[in-house]
């Protein structure tokens, strides 16, 4: 299965992450920032939390989940003041292929290899919150222009929750590289429980996951590339 052999994606789902210089910009990775000083009550990530990923190439898509092994979130009243999460790259799941099948094994092994996550040397990814601010009236979720195919990546505005409440930023570390990302999320804080829902795109090559780099395609019309864009969707609870 051609798509399985070449498909490279990013995932590393960053629990509550985002990335741009100002709220109206398209999500992108910037240099690492100082981690927020957490004050207030520390909550523990619930095992029901999910982080989903979806990668694209002109010939098709792959999607699945990455488990969070540990995580804490600190709140002070109705404000998020800090948090840190660890993700198990070796626990990555592919949900569009049958687990145990030859194609599943080939794609899973390739994603774990030095072509992508280099899991032998970097088995986990981490995310540390650097800031949280209200999603204000008039803030815009800008869409990035994508090369059009039958499997063009979903737009940022399509992935975002209908009514975002916050912009959350944090340092995402994968494969030894740390970048700050920022994105909109719908956050609810009630009776000591925090829920957060978010969906956004990132550029996998910012962390060195460059196999099949879209930018290196000589002729995109030949479909010989993998989109650098990877979609992440988060549904998390801490209590």
- The CATH number of residue 62's host domain is 2.40.128.110
Say whether pLDDT at 124 is over 80: yes
Residue 14 to residues 56, 90, 129, 202, 223, Cα–Cα distance (Å): 19, 15, 10, 11, 29
For residue 56, pLDDT over 70 is answered with yes
How many domains are contained in the chain? 1
pLDDT band at 27 (very low <50, low <70, confident <90, very high): low
User: Mean pLDDT lowest for which of 12-26, 92-106, 121-135, 185-199?
Assistant: 12-26
Q: Which residue has the higher pLDDT, 124 or 80?
A: 124
Looking at residue 92, what is its pLDDT? 95
Task: Report the pLDDT averaged over residues 86-105.
Answer: 95
d(CA 60, CA 94): 14
- Asked if pLDDT for residue 54 goes beyond 50, the answer is yes
Q: Which bin fits 223, alpha (ψ -120 to 50), beta or left (φ > 0)?
A: left
Q: Residue 109: enclosing H or E segment and its boundaries?
A: helix 102-112
User: What does the chain come to in residues?
Assistant: 239
How far, in Å, CA of 63 to CA of 55, rounded? 6
Residue range of the domain that includes 93: 2-238
pTM for the predicted model, two decimal places: 0.83
Confidence of residue 160 (pLDDT cuts 50, 70, 90): very high
Whether residue 137 is predicted with pLDDT greater than 50 in this model: the reply is: yes
């Amino acid at each position: 299965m051609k798509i399985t052999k070449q498909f490279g994606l990013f995932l590393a789902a960053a629990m509550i992450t985002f990335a741009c210089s100002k709220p109206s910009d398209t999500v992108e990775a910037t240099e690492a920032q100082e981690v927020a000083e957490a004050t207030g009550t520390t909550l523990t990530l619930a095992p029901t939390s999910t982080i989903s990923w979806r990668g694209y190439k002109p010939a098709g898509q792959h999607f699945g989940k990455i488990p969070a092994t540990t995580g804490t979130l600190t709140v002070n009243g109705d404000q998020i003041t800090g948090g840190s999460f660890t993700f198990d790259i070796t626990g990555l799941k592919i949900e569009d292929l049958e687990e145990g099948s030859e194609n599943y094994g080939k794609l899973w092994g390739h994603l774990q290899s030095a072509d992508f996550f280099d899991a032998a040397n970097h088995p986990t990814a981490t995310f540390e919150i650097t800031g949280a601010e209200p999603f204000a009236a008039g803030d815009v979720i800008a869409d990035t222009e994508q090369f059009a195919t039958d499997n063009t990546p979903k737009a940022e505005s399509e992935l975002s929750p209908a009514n975002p409440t916050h912009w959350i930023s944090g340092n995402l570390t994968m494969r030894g590289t740390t970048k700050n990302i920022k994105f909109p999320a719908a956050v609810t804080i009630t009776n000591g429980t925090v829920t957060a829902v978010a969906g956004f795109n990132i550029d996998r090559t910012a962390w060195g996951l460059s196999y099949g780099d879209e930018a290196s395609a000589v002729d995109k019309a030949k479909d010989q590339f993998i989109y650098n864009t990877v979609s992440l969707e988060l549904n998390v609870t801490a209590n």
